[in-house]
Structure 1
Amino acid sequence: MSFFQKVSILLTVCAIMVASNIYTLIPIYSLLADSLFIAESHVVLAGGLFTFFYACGLLSFGPVSDYTGPRKILVLGLLASALATLAVGFSSGSVSLWVARSVQGITLATFASVAFAYSYDLFNFRQRTILVVLINTGFLIAGIFGQVASAFLADVLSWNSVFYFFSAVYFILFAAAFFLLKESSPPSVESTPLWRVFFQLLKDSRLLKCYMITFSLLFAIIAFYDAIGRFFNGPESDLLMIRLVGLIGASLSLFTGKLMERWGELRTLMFGLAIGSSSAFMLLFFHSTGALIFFSIFFVSSISLVIPTVITLIGYYGSSQRAKALSLYSFILLTGASLAPPAAAMLSFSGIMGLLSSLFLLNIGLCILIQKKAFQSAKAG
């Protein structure tokens, strides 16, 4: 097995396991609240704190890796994640849960943007493209795996075992990364202040619209599954099936490249958004287990198409500042995710589905505006 193949397997598994902790609280809100004798809203807040600090970490560790090299951040980040995740399992009340989940969010943020930087440093264009797709597919699988693993372990053992399990996994991945990953030369560091680079990126109207779309993506997937978990009244086995079938939709991300080659990025993006909007809209009227299974496949498929396409567009529009443009993408993506649990807690199931359908329609409108600007620029040129 070549070095590239070994790294691809390791980073894909890391992507699944790291991103899974965005979703681990969704199936165990009430169980955790009852076990710690705290309000369920406090557990929801813990989820929001995790995603907020995770987003802040994503914005920070990419630039930090410019100084240290990505390998150090990846390896030490996994060790810190193991310790922080273990601390979550020992939480005894609201405050300790909030602090532990916040620290866990920061430590797990050492992976995503730094893994992309590592891919760019060590591999050629073709290998890098394959690895980025695999990592993104891992992130999508995590949305299902995190919920299923959490629900299973909490049901068979206890809520603490969820975090003991992931802590043990991070220790194993730390050891694998320590021995497998090669050092790469730190890239040259620019003298331009980071905040000024981010401000310049946001002044680009095309990037700004892409970031507006980005904000809704993880918000949508987390709110979708959170709403189903809260309002589904059927047996646990059916709820597990609803979550598992999403893996079928997640696999569609592997074919995004072919669709972009055939249709172009913006058409692929609008197609994915149209599927998501239609799926959420149909769930306003059909609430049976079969309908939830059927439309959840299409909803996850839409996210699977949209995320890699948005990354491609941001990378293209970001040009020479591509790495920082993608760091800003990661921050905005997770900032949206941090608002999903409280939104799902405040709205009814129909309210969430109506909101998601409307958000995706709005995003299609943003795509049309980007397309119009591109057409005008081409005409002027």
Structure 2
Amino acid sequence: MLNKESLECEGIHYRLQVIFLFIASICVGTGIYEWIPLTNVLQQSFHVGQEQIIFIGSVFSLFYAIGFLIFGWLANYVEIKKLLIVGTLLLMISTFLIGFATNYKLMIVFRAIQGIFAASFAPLGFSIIVKMFPESKRIAGISAITTGFVMAGILGQLYGSIIANSYSWSVVFWLQALIYLMIIISMIFLVPKTDKVSERPTSFIGELVKLLISKSLFPCYVITLTLLFCFVGMYTVMGMFFQKDFGLNNEKILWIRGIGIIGMIGSMVFAKLSKKIGVGNILSLGLVCASIGVLIIGISNNVGLSVAMSVVFVFGITISLPMVVSSIGTLAGKKSGNAMTLYTFVLFIGATVGPIVCNRIIESGSYPLAFIFLAVVLGISFIASLIVRKTI
């Protein structure tokens, strides 16, 4: 039996791991969102249009999603901690090389490679939590990763803007590579080893398809698809919307992006009530908040109200993510490792498609329509959450 001191040491150890996962998630997730504020400077550097720069961001997200499948498959054959360290090391190298891209085509290639290796962290991190964390600590670990990735949606944009304005766009990636080196060093000491794989799936893709079409899990994946679809889509549109309709400059838009952190902090506090309120109830509440928030942004002509609703939107998305992960982990049972791989794949397919769809809508000059469309998408997810509530 463990004595009191042993339990306290174990508790501190898990807290350090959760803190590390949170910080590492922000740093890895930054690679997705730092691109958004670099649109103008990269247009000028590569002499291409806005649509071409948005396409590079979508290429990253697409290969990010493909990378989830690759590393999810490898996790059935390689010890997860070793795989995670190697994946992050290759991410560091590919990120450093991006700073040397001299033309548009080379940038596409480097970003695609970066996307594949960036995908190592989330599915392997989730697998470690599910396999190695005690049940009482899993929600904290899952929330750390999901909240970190969503918080990167704000911090990544701030980071990209500040570094590019102070130095150059190349420094954004060189500094990020240095940060990844520090993550790798921390990973060696803080990430626990997992057991060797004893049972390998006969068909990895077949297993994922079975999970996707499962009656209990399918509504979860419908919701998953919409979350970053709407989050990345909303922030892609928001900067242009505030600039055109409200005449705000880049500095003010930067602060508006940063205000979204309030919603993220609120969601982290509220997530602790999941045991009392219920995971399904919080999931539905989050989707309602996100849908209402983005809808009011679309129909409001008041900049103050729109900024406040962006906080509500971020709160809704941020609180929904860990609840979906928790629901999938519960419903998948022993297949939770592959279910997490599928979750991350579907999540970032949404991140890939969201900006492209929203950009198509605003090409007609209708920014409000893009926000209303996102509200409808989240409304569909809310309906799916009602089904999830009955199954968990």
2:139–2:326 contact (8 Å) kept in structure 1: no
In the alignment, structure 1 residue 286 sits paired with structure 2 residue 300? yes
Which shows bigger deviation, 245-254 or 221-230? 245-254
> 1:174-218: per-residue Cα shift (whole Å, max 9, x none)?
222234444332232334311221122123223112111111100
Matched, 1:362 2:380: yes
Other-structure match for 1:148: 158
**Aligned AA (1:205):** K
Alignment partner of 1:115 out of 103, 106, 125: 125
Shift of the 258–83 alpha-carbon distance from structure 1 to 2, 3 Å rule, reads closer
* Aligned match of 1:53: 63
Partner residue of 1:315 out of 307, 320, 329: 329
Aligned to 1:27: 37
Counterpart for residue 195 of structure 2: 185
Which of 204, 215, 220 aligns to 1:205? It is: 215
CA contact (8 A) 2:69 2:342 kept: yes
SS of the aligned residue for 2:32 comes to coil
> Equivalent of 2:359, from 339, 345, 352?
345
Q: What TM-score do the two structures reach when normalised by structure 1? A: 0.92
2:231 alignment partner in structure 1: 221
Distance in 1, matches of 2:282 and 2:189, equals 40
Give 1:278's aligned amino acid.
I
Does 1:195 find its partner at 2:185? no
- Range with greater deviation from structure 2 (115-124 or 350-359): 115-124
CA 1:120/1:370 → structure 2, altered by over 3 Å: closer, same or farther? closer
Amino acid aligned to 2:211 = L
2:250 counterpart (236, 240, 263) = 236
Hey, what does 1:250 align to over in structure 2? 264
Q: Which sections of structure 2, spanning at least 5 residues, go unmatched?
A: 1-8
Query: Contact between 2:94 and 2:113, CA under 8 Å: does it hold in 1?
Result: yes
| Closer, same or farther: CA 121–321 of 1 in aligned 2, 3 Å | closer
* Aligned-partner Cα distance in 2 for 1:165–1:213: 34
Out of 277, 280, 299, which is 1:263 matched to? 277
Amino acid of the structure 1 residue aligned with 2:325: I
Counterpart residue type for residue 193 of structure 1: S
Q: What is the percent sequence identity of the aligned residues?
A: 28
- Residues 279 and 327 of structure 2 are in contact (CA less than 8 Å); yes or no, is this contact kept in structure 1? yes
- 3-state secondary structure, aligned to 2:194: coil
- Aligned residue pairs: how many? 374
Instruction: Judge conservation of contact 1:253–1:308 (CA < 8 Å) in 2.
Output: no
Is structure 2 residue 286 aligned with structure 1 residue 272?
yes
Aligned-partner Cα distance in 1 for 2:21–2:326: 20
Task: Spell out, residue by residue over 1:91-126, the C-alpha distance to the aligned partner (whole angstroms, 9 max, x if none).
Answer: 111210110000000011110110122223433222
- Bigger mean CA deviation after superposition, 134-143 or 281-290: 281-290
Greater shift, 169-178 or 273-282, is seen at 169-178
Distance 1:191 1:113, change over 3 A: closer
Using the TM superposition, give the Cα deviation of residue 374 of structure 1 relative to its aligned residue in structure 2, in angstroms.
Answer: 4.7
1:4 counterpart SS class: helix
- Tell me the distance in 2 between the aligned counterparts of 1:178 and 1:305: 30
Change beyond 3 A, Cα 1:284–1:50: same
What is the rounded CA distance, in whole Å, between the counterparts of 1:359 and 1:55 in structure 2? 21
For 2:172 and 2:379, the matched residues in 1 are separated by 37
Distance 1:5 1:257, change over 3 A: closer
Q: Which residue of 1 aligns with 2:5?
A: none
Give the residue type in structure 2 aligned to 1:339: V
Name the counterpart of 2:4. Answer: none
Shift of 1:314: 1.2
How far off its partner does 1:140 sit? 1.7
User: 322, 328, 353: which is aligned to 2:342?
Assistant: 328
User: What is the identity, as a one-letter code, of the residue corresponding to 2:47?
Assistant: F
For residues 130 and 282 of structure 1, what CA distance do their matches in structure 2 show?
Answer: 32
Measure, in 2, the Cα distance between the counterparts of 1:124 and 1:187: 19
Q: Secondary structure at the match of 1:189?
A: coil
Equivalent residues of 1:251, 1:304 under 8 A apart: no
- Cα deviation, 1:295-346, whole Å, max 9, x if unaligned, reads 1110000001211111111112212211111211110000010012222322
CA distance, structure 1, for counterparts of residue 387 and residue 120 of structure 2: 34
Question: How far, CA to CA, are the matches of 1:45 and 1:93 in structure 2?
Answer: 15
Of 23, 34, 48, which aligns to 1:38? Answer: 48
Residue of structure 1 equivalent to 2:3? none
Q: Which residue of 1 aligns with 2:169?
A: 159
5 Å-filtered alignment, 1:68-83, equals 68-83=78-93
Find the aligned partners of 2:265 and 2:123 in 1 and give their Cα distance: 22
Indicate if the aligned counterparts of 1:62 and 1:117 stay in contact, CA closer than 8 A.
no
Residue 122 of structure 1 contacts residue 184 of structure 1 at CA under 8 Å; is this kept in 2? yes
- Separation of aligned partners in 2, 1:281 and 1:175: 44
Decide whether aligned partners of structure 1 residues 128 and 272 sit closer, same or farther in structure 2, where only a CA change above 3 A counts.
closer
Structure 1 residues 147-178: Cα deviation after superposition (integer angstroms, max 9, x where no partner): 00001111111111111111111122122223
